[in-house]
Each structure stands twice: as C-alpha cells, then as structure tokens.
Amino acid sequence: MLPSFLLSWILLRCADSFSVRVPPGPVVVARGATAFLSCEFEPDLNISHLVINWQRQEDARVVHSFYYQVDQLDRQSKDYLGRTKLNHNELAKGNASLSIANFGLNDAGKYLCTVTNTKGIGKGELQLVYAAFCSEPRLSIHLKSSDVTVQYEMEGYPRPEILWLGSLGQNLTDHLEISPASDGGLYYLKSSYVTQNSAVNVTFTLKNPAAHQDLQRHVILSYDENMTSRTNSSTYVLSILCVILLCSTVLLLWLYCRRDK
C-alpha cells in the first residue's frame, strides 16, 4: 500500500517538476535585431523523443518545429521563412531557445514554447515587444513676419513622449504630427514650437523608454525684429526701380518712333 502510494507520489512529483521556463516579463527587441527567445526544460540526454514547437499564441502560426531529431519546417508560417534558428547542440542540455533574425513590428506579440520528451510535456509563454530607436531629430527654423517656428522631425517607435521646455523649465505648448513612415514599423514625427518672441531659448526633450532613449536638444536663437520691415523697404525700393525702368523704356521707344517720322 505504502510503496504504491509512494510510487504514484514520486511519479506525480516528476510530472509536476517538468516545467518549461521562459522569461517572465516582456522582452524588448529592437527593429532589425535578432530576437532571442529563451526556453529551458528538464533535459533528457536521448533526444529521439524530443518534440519542440514554437508557435504564435494569438493565431497558432508555426514559428519553428523540431521532432525526429531534425527541424520540421513544412508547416512553418511563411512570415518566419529562413529567419529562425534552433541550436541543436543545446537540446540535450534542455535548452530550446530560438532566435529570430531581422525583427519587425509584425513579430511583436506572444510566443508559445511547447516541449515534449520522456520526462513530460510543458509549455511556456513569452512576450516580445517591438521598439525602434528614434533617429537624430532634424532641426528646421522658419522665420515669418509674424512668428518663428522651431521644428524637429524624426522617425521611431513606439510614439515617444515629446516636451518643449522654456528657459525656466516651463512646459510650452507645441504641435505634434504623427504618421506611419513609408518604411514599415516606424512612425514619422514632426513636432514644432511657435513663438512671437524675437529671442528663442527652448529645450526639445524626447523620451522613448522602450528603446532606453532620453534626449535633449537646446535651441537658442535671436534675430533682429526690424528684419521684416527691412525686407519691406527693400521690396519698396525694388518696385520704384522697376517703375523707373519701365518709364525710361517707354520714353526711349517714344523718342525712337519720333525720330523715324
């Protein structure tokens, strides 16, 4: 009685102890990088009974399969064609970690690592998050008669937190435009600050926590307030010159015609 109870307890413990271990929290992968999906299980030195299946949790797309001691890619989703790699030398050590090359926005999501061997069956779910480092913001300054526009343009993912700060650290109102960039998996962002002041002393700040990015760019600019009126006066001078030129041409033509008569 006791030995059989003990035996079933041990068997239960064994079945219980077969666990598939994956990283608990979301894993951030940068655009274009190789994602590393860690998955460990209780090893069995003889891998002839080992079945590994990597799938997307959301739609059961097959990412990578391994059984009969070889990669089985007949049912692999074409989205992962030629991009996945399972290190066969690690399998007997209980390591079913998979790598996915050239990570993109569509690769973000949940992945299931299912392992079956003589010790049991188990699965682990891990989440991959996509992020793209923001490009260096490109500055442009537009001077108009009525105001000055300071503008930064950049690409990145996800939507970063953008703030324009005044010289005293005050939050300035700004304008932000976001659109998907033609190059997939990136946002195109255009943020501007408009002022009527002739002296600009502002700080542009950008935070993209997913990509561990935190940058600040200072813009200091001052211009002559009378520049616009000078532009107006030069336009005025130019108009006068044109009128004089026109008048003299007409006069010359008139004189020329009179000489012919």
Chain residues binding ligand NAG by CB under 6 A are 40, 46, 48, 87, 90, 95, 97, 163, 167, 171, 173, 201, 220, 224-226
Nearer to ligand NAG, 8 or 48 (CB): 48
CB of 180 to ligand NAG, least distance (A): 23
Contact 187, 180 (CB under 8 A): yes
Nearer to ligand NAG, 139 or 220 (CB): 220
Give the type of residue at 72: Q
Nearer to ligand NAG, 87 or 239 (CB): 87
Strands (E), 138-224: 138-143, 148-156, 161-165, 171-172, 175-180, 187-195, 199-208, 213-222
CB of 184 to ligand NAG, least distance (A): 28
Distance, in Å, from the CA atom of 173 to the CA atom of 191, rounded to the nearest integer, reads 11
Nearer to ligand NAG, 44 or 79 (CB): 44
CB of 8 to ligand NAG, least distance (A): 24
77: DSSP letter:
-
Concatenated DSSP letters of 11-38: HHHHHHH---B--SS-EEEETTSPEEE-
CB of 129 to ligand NAG, least distance (A): 20
CB of 224 to ligand NAG, least distance (A): 5
Alpha helices in the chain (DSSP H): 2-17, 227-260
Nearer to ligand NAG, 229 or 235 (CB): 229
Q: Which residue is nearest to ligand NAG (CB)?
A: 87
Chain centroid offset of residue 32 CA: 10
